[in-house]
């Protein structure tokens, strides 16, 4: 699963503000545009960070028909 974080970066690329997490990239993009238009004279930029969320352990084990102790967390790949 992916979520999208809208944030504001200063001129050095450091995150200085966060404007929420969104399930939809379209919602995140709309929020980013709002943030950009609220501060047109600012010296930083708004952007969207894509974050991959790892499924809950019990659900993942059940889906793969394994026990939780059999899961290899470091080799799991995104299926979608």
b/e map 34-43, b = 16+ CB within 10 Å: ebeeeeeeee
Predicted confidence at residue 62, as pLDDT, reads 86
Predicted confidence at residue 22, as pLDDT, reads 97
Quick check: 80 pLDDT over 60? no
Which pTM was predicted? 0.69
Reported as a single tens digit per residue, the pLDDT across 20-78 is 999 999 999 999 999 888 876 678 889 999 998 877 778 888 888 888 888 776 665 55
């Amino acid at each position: 699963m992916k979520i999208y974080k809208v944030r504001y970066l200063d001129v050095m690329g450091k995150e200085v503000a966060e404007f929420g997490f969104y399930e939809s990239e379209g919602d995140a993009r709309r929020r980013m545009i709002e943030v950009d238009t609220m501060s047109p004279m600012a010296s930083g930029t708004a952007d969207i960070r894509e974050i991959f969320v790892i499924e809950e352990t019990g659900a993942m084990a059940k889906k793969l028909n394994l026990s939780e102790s059999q899961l290899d967390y470091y080799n799991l790949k995104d299926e979608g």
